[in-house]
Amino acid sequence: MMMEKNKPKRFQLSAQTLGSTLIVFFLALTLIFGGEKPAVADNTPACVGDHPQELGCWQKYPLFRDSQGKILPLQSVHTSLLPNGKILMVNGSSNRNTIDRQKVTFVDGVKTSEQAVIDNTALFDPETGTFEQISSPPPKQFGDSNDLFCTGHVHLANGNVLFSGGSNRYYPGEQFEGSKQINVYDWQQQQWTNIGGKMKAGRWYPSLVPLADGKIVIFSGQKYDAPTQITPTIEIYDPKTNQLHFFDLTYVEDSPYNVKITEYQYVDANGDFVTEKADVYDSIDLYPRVFPTPDGKLLITGDGAGKFPLEVHKSNKTYLMSVQEEPSGELSISFEIGPDRKDISKVYGTAVADPNREGDVLLLGGILNTNNINFGKPQLGLIVDGKAPKGSGNEELLATGARIAASVERWDSKANEWSIVPDFLQQDNGSPQPRAMNEAVILPNKEILTVNGGIYAEYDQVYEPLLMTYDEKAPGGYKTQEMNPATLPRLYHNGALLLPDGRVLTVGGNASRGARETDGTVHVDVVPDPTDYYLLAKLTKDPQTPGSGKVISEKDYNQFLEDYYQNPESYFAQLDDSSIDPVPFAPAEIWQVEIFNPPYLFKGGLRPEIETAPQTLEYEEASHVTVKNVDIQSDGERGSLVMVKLGTITHSFDYGQRLADLSIQKVINNGNGSYTIDFTAPENAHLYTPGYYMMFYLNSAGKPSVAKMVQLEAA
């Protein structure tokens, strides 16, 4: 039986809807910009979606191409917003295998010693829609491989982006060895630099967390010389001294590596309270979700991004880490055991600092009880009603308790306790919709957009974002509403960032590993296979006829790419199992940008404009901005002024974004619709670490201005 799964419900781009699409586009410009000259280029794509005032709309940007018009195979595994408003897109070797087209065989991984293999870096300007391919760091540095695939990254206080670790080497069986490299992208000079040396430990899948004084804590990652082991160490980078401080956590009291777990207590998928015996030491997962707390500690939530064949990090423990500095400059660290969570740790869900409850942390969705991101793929046995064919890989995974969460978990920073809502992520009909590989983007009106990902990590994409609106009486503290759907499947390795104009960028997506030929051609018609590792997909446009699929020939390949990106819903993959009808096809890589326009951009009236704003701020400093296109009649209609830290995202977690709600002290009417707003800069440098922020003014209806970039300076 052919099953329709997660097909976009409100989007159908056809000749019949083209006229209405253009009408929506011009209506959108009028509503957003109030009749003024748009802040985006004249060739901006149409914004597609019914009822944008309620459900938002999507702009689909052209494919990236070289000077000869050839499609450039650039996704964005590591995505950062720069202080100049451009998007840094970094991929390194980009999760690819090597293909011998004649033999149709795959070699695990690629040769990262070749510049052409790792030279997959670009800048995208969302204001103009233009794209520029730029150089990558050298493939070798300080005598070792220097591949930024699966690195960690975060902004330094000066706006440069620090990259730590990555892939030192590919091993057979999808295993990787961690890199010791540190690279820095200088956004003003538009060039790559390094810090003059390497880390002590290799780190593949590390997390970088900024501190109040500008230092960066580097957590976790797979080892340099052991591809299936997590390093039990951290390093702290001090940009003032350009030094790294190394700590072995196995010797630190109450660190996860010194805590023996004898049992887990949690609520399972059926809502039953479970006590499970254990006999293990805890650990810190890969790409751990770590957050600063109001009192300057670092909350290690337990969630992360574990990767098969690593042992599953099955724990409901949390930890609070402190960093102390002596007058001599020497650093020390300490740990305390935090409160137990209500569920065990997950991988490849998202996490976000709650903009409406300062200091709180939210964990949304994710995978439980397995690190195998192939879980759920039909190649392992199609799952229907929670069951898979007998003897299949998915049946084995289901038997171990593998599942995708629809939950939200909250850490209450004041009470220092966790709560959970198991079925928080829902469709508009009220039924739960589990999500993995989803992203959480903080909007300037303090809503949260949950976007991208799928029912499974690499299969069954969810096109509709969820808009989360704060309501302290709602379960989890938020009401949710489905938005208009996107058009491209964004699964593993997708990204989403808030832009200075209030839109949300979405990029990337790896449904499986691409295949690179020696001439640089990258094939996306690749699917995993439980027997033969990877295969070229048999594709069809006739989902009702099993056996109709065929492998795309070399002479037809470029046309296939052009056709797919224009009509992604028209392709299906024919599986070798004749009992399963063709399933919706998602290519190995997504090379196209889509931008979501949230409903607040379509509120009536002129869009507020910040005329002047400070370029720099110090903590607790009194300052002011001037705004126009507003009508502030009373104290109750002052609107709001917020600062949102620049995002930098990979593997379902944004390591940068924070929203600071600025305290408005006074509003002065300057006449002619212009106002001076006196405000106070953020106080808490632990929560709002130094660096560049987007400053938005929102009118009383919640319509945001285009942001001004402001640098919050380190104490």
Q: What's the CA gap between 628 and 631, in Å, rounded?
A: 8
Residue pair 453/461 in contact (Cβ under 8 Å)? The answer is yes
pLDDT digits (tens, 9 = 90+) for 390-408: 999 999 999 989 999 999 9
The arrangement of strands across the sheet holding 298-300 comes to: 290-292, 298-300, 319-325, 331-337
Q: What is the helix (H) or strand (E) element at residue 640, kind and residue range? A: strand 640-645
Number of domains in the chain: 2
Task: Kindly report the number of other CB atoms within 10 A of residue 568's CB atom.
Answer: 20
DSSP letters, 154-167, are EE-TTS-EEEE--E
Tally: H helices and E strands in the chain: 5, 56
Q: Are residues 461 and 595 in the same domain?
A: yes
Q: What's the CA gap between 586 and 23, in Å, rounded?
A: 30
Residue pair 271/661 in contact (Cβ under 8 Å)? The answer is no
Please say if the pLDDT value at position 216 is more than 80: yes
510, two tokens? 């790896």
Domain boundary among 555, 587, 602: 602
Q: What is the helix (H) or strand (E) element at residue 506, kind and residue range? A: strand 504-510
Q: Are residues 581 and 639 in the same domain?
A: no
Q: Are residues 579 and 497 in the same domain?
A: yes
The amino acid sitting at 512 is S
Confidence tier at 100 by pLDDT (50, 70, 90): confident
Please say if the pLDDT value at position 26 is more than 90: no
Q: Is residue 89 part of a domain?
A: no
Rounded to an integer, the average pLDDT of 94-117 is 87
Residue pair 549/540 in contact (Cβ under 8 Å)? The answer is yes
Q: Are residues 613 and 695 in the same domain?
A: yes
Q: What's the CA gap between 364 and 315, in Å, rounded?
A: 17
Contact partners, residue 318, CB within 8 Å, separation at least 6: 299, 300, 301, 302, 337, 338, 339, 340, 341, 411, 418
Q: Are residues 585 and 626 in the same domain?
A: no
Q: Interior CA angle at 565 toward 559 and 569, to 5°?
A: 110
Q: State the pairing for strand pair 522-523/526-529.
A: unpaired
Q: What's the CA gap between 538 and 174, in Å, rounded?
A: 23
Residue pair 664/619 in contact (Cβ under 8 Å)? The answer is no
Q: Are residues 548 and 686 in the same domain?
A: no
Query: 564 in helix, strand or coil?
Result: helix
Q: Is 444 exposed, middle or buried (0-12, 13-18, 19+ CB in 10 A)?
A: buried
Rounded to an integer, the average pLDDT of 235-239 is 97
Q: Which residue has better confidence, 529 or 134?
A: 134
Confidence tier at 174 by pLDDT (50, 70, 90): confident
pLDDT of residue 635: 55
**7-21, 54-68, 132-146, 599-613, range with the lowest pLDDT:** 7-21
Rounded to an integer, the average pLDDT of 304-333 is 92
Q: Which residue has better confidence, 74 or 25?
A: 74
Q: Is residue 649 part of a domain?
A: yes
Confidence tier at 491 by pLDDT (50, 70, 90): very high
Phi, psi of 357 (to 5 degrees): -135, 90
pLDDT of residue 582: 87
Q: What's the CA gap between 25 and 59, in Å, rounded?
A: 9
Q: What's the CA gap between 657 and 648, in Å, rounded?
A: 7
Q: Are residues 597 and 677 in the same domain?
A: no
Q: What's the CA gap between 654 and 365, in Å, rounded?
A: 15
pLDDT, the chain, mean: 90
pLDDT of residue 634: 62
CA distances from 452 to 322, 429, 482 (A): 34, 19, 12
Strand partners, 416: none
Q: Is residue 81 part of a domain?
A: no
DSSP letters, 68-129, are TSPBP----SEEEE-TTS-EEEE-TT-SEEEEETTTTEEESS--TTSHHHH--EEEEETTTT
Rounded to an integer, the average pLDDT of 84-89 is 98
Rounded to an integer, the average pLDDT of 690-698 is 98
Residue pair 441/404 in contact (Cβ under 8 Å)? The answer is no
Q: Is residue 291 part of a domain?
A: no
CA distances from 294 to 212, 301, 493, 684, 689 (A): 11, 15, 31, 7, 11
Task: Kindly report the number of other CB atoms within 10 A of residue 311's CB atom.
Answer: 13
CA distances from 432 to 75, 365, 407 (A): 30, 11, 9
Q: What's the CA gap between 445 and 441, in Å, rounded?
A: 11
Rounded to an integer, the average pLDDT of 246-264 is 94
For 309-435, where are the E strands, in sequence order? 319-325, 331-337, 350-353, 361-368, 403-412, 417-421
Rounded to an integer, the average pLDDT of 231-248 is 97
Phi, psi of 566 (to 5 degrees): -80, -35
Please say if the pLDDT value at position 580 is more than 60: yes
Q: Are residues 471 and 598 in the same domain?
A: yes
**156-160, 432-436, 574-578, range with the lowest pLDDT:** 574-578
600, two tokens? 């607040």
Question: Structural domain of residue 60, as residue ranges?
Answer: 1-72+348-602
pLDDT of residue 394: 94
Task: Enter the pTM of the model.
Answer: 0.93
| CA neighbor of 511 nearest in space, from 570, 465, 452 | 452
Domain boundary among 581, 602, 623: 602
Please say if the pLDDT value at position 640 is more than 80: yes
pLDDT of residue 43: 63
Confidence tier at 710 by pLDDT (50, 70, 90): very high
Q: Are residues 615 and 589 in the same domain?
A: no
Q: What is the helix (H) or strand (E) element at residue 245, kind and residue range? A: strand 243-248
pLDDT of residue 40: 40
Q: Are residues 589 and 648 in the same domain?
A: no
Omega of the bond prior to 614 within 30 degrees of 0, cis? no
Please say if the pLDDT value at position 25 is more than 80: no
Q: Are residues 620 and 474 in the same domain?
A: no
**62-76, 417-431, 607-621, 627-641, range with the lowest pLDDT:** 627-641
Q: What's the CA gap between 244 and 208, in Å, rounded?
A: 13
Rounded to an integer, the average pLDDT of 594-614 is 96
Q: Is residue 118 part of a domain?
A: no
Q: Are residues 589 and 618 in the same domain?
A: no
Q: Is residue 311 part of a domain?
A: no
Q: What is the CATH number of the domain that holds 670?
A: 2.60.40.10
The arrangement of strands across the sheet holding 514-516 comes to: 105-107, 96-100, 514-516, 522-523
Q: Is residue 80 part of a domain?
A: no
Confidence tier at 5 by pLDDT (50, 70, 90): very low
Query: 59 in helix, strand or coil?
Result: strand
For 346-438, where are the E strands, in sequence order? 350-353, 361-368, 403-412, 417-421
pLDDT digits (tens, 9 = 90+) for 641-673: 999 999 999 999 999 999 999 999 999 999 888
Confidence tier at 554 by pLDDT (50, 70, 90): confident
74, two tokens? 């650039």
Please say if the pLDDT value at position 35 is more than 60: no
Task: Kindly report the number of other CB atoms within 10 A of residue 695's CB atom.
Answer: 24
Among left, alpha and beta (phi > 0; psi -120 to 50; other), residue 35 is left
pLDDT of residue 263: 87
pLDDT of residue 715: 66
pLDDT digits (tens, 9 = 90+) for 344-375: 999 999 999 999 999 999 999 999 999 999 99
Task: Kindly report the number of other CB atoms within 10 A of residue 272's CB atom.
Answer: 8
Q: Is residue 262 part of a domain?
A: no
Domain boundary among 602, 635, 662: 602
